Amino acid sequence: MSRFSAADKGRWLAAQVRLSPSQAARKHRFLLRTDIHSPAGVIAVDDLQIFNDCPEFGSCDFEDDFCMWENGDVFSSHTSWERHTGGYMYYDPDTDHTFGAAYGSYAIIYPQRLPTYQPPSKLVSPDIANCGNACFSFWMYRNGTQIHDMTVFVTSRGEDVVQEFNMLEDSENVWAKGQLYLPKTVNSCQIKFAPSFPLIRNKFFALDDLLFKRGPCSPLEDVHHPSFTCDDGDTHLTNDKICNFVADCKDRLDEIHCGLSCDFENNNTCNWTREDYQTRWALRQAGSGDYEPKFDQTTMSETGHYVRLERTKVKIPSGSGRFLSPYVVNAAPSCRLVFWAYSDLQGGSPAIKVRMRSSSSRLDRDTTVLVMQ
């Protein structure tokens, strides 16, 4: 039950009623009753909504609205929490967490620095009548910010208390789960997310799937959408654990197919791929047909293999061909790329450029690190 206190006078107070399964099964209607015991003042009601199912008060997936969460301490409309869908801005999360799809919604906030700095708004929950012995969890996506730039307050009895929360991993550009436990001593409360944007970190914070659940928190597990499973079936790895020069699978399967070493002798390109469609990198055997060169570098024989740049259409007089490795992470500062090149082109010398592609969210950047002329 939500009750008005002296501190609630003069502001809108959110409330929610949940029916038991037996109550909801019967035909029913709602009656709002108010008792006025004062000769002055008003009582008003707004935004009535009836849903087929109600989540626990304080929970929100942002698919329809803010679920009675609201902006608090607003200094500027440009620093308020907003609802966006995946990829609304080019550096936003591509998907939400609820559906893992571009059409899903989440809450997001950006900093404002020009013309003058404005503090970001807090994201404030509705008044929750009974907060004690409950677990509050959320999914956070950050870019250009650190986890400690987000502070969570629990307001109870009119006092804001900083509440420490746990997160599974400290990683940018991924939906990461956080949670905090509210002890039995907490009665009614509000939960507040208070972001900060230091000068050197100025991208955004996004939140999704806020969940208020009775009882203690379960231990955080690796539920960050593992993208790779080892052959044992029990070890699940996220993208940052693949091709990082560390074998997390017992059989090194997470590092074998990273293209870190490839002699093209196993009739494959070790997951290196082409990026152009007017040319192609074709796997060839040295001693077959009229192909050049007549022997490979690995075996120095006609039975060896290599990849050879070819035009897909004879009418195309010239063209460039890009040969792209898988993404590699956590390379040492002394990282080197070593390869052998062969050319017998007539009428000019070929240029081979090596570029390093770094990826941040959906923005890729190519940097030329070597030119062979």
| 72 & 196 share domain | yes
What pLDDT, on a 0 to 100 scale, did the predictor assign at position 210? 96
Q: What is the pLDDT of residues 76-133, one digit of tens each?
A: 767 899 999 887 776 788 888 888 888 889 999 988 766 667 788 999 999 998 899 9
Residue 121, strand partner residues: none
Q: Which structural domain range is residue 265 located in?
A: 260-325
> Is residue 299 in some structural domain?
yes
Burial 11-21 (b: 16+ CB within 10 A, else e): eeeeebeeeee
Token digits of residue 103: 């059409």
**Is-above-0.75 flag for pTM?**
no
User: Is residue 23 domain-resident?
Assistant: no
Q: Given a cut of 90, is residue 208 above it in pLDDT?
A: yes
Q: Which of 181, 214, 247 corresponds to the end of one domain?
A: 214
Express each pLDDT in 219-271 by its tens digit. 886 544 556 778 777 777 777 778 888 888 888 888 877 888 889 888 888 88
- Asked if 147 and 280 sit in the same domain, the reply is no
> Best-predicted range by mean pLDDT among 1-5, 46-50, 350-354?
350-354
Strand bridging mode 105-109 / 122-124:
unpaired
Of 206-215, 314-323, 334-343, which gets the smallest average pLDDT? 314-323
Residue 287, in any domain of the structure: yes
In whole angstroms, what is the distance from residue 166 CA to residue 102 CA? 27
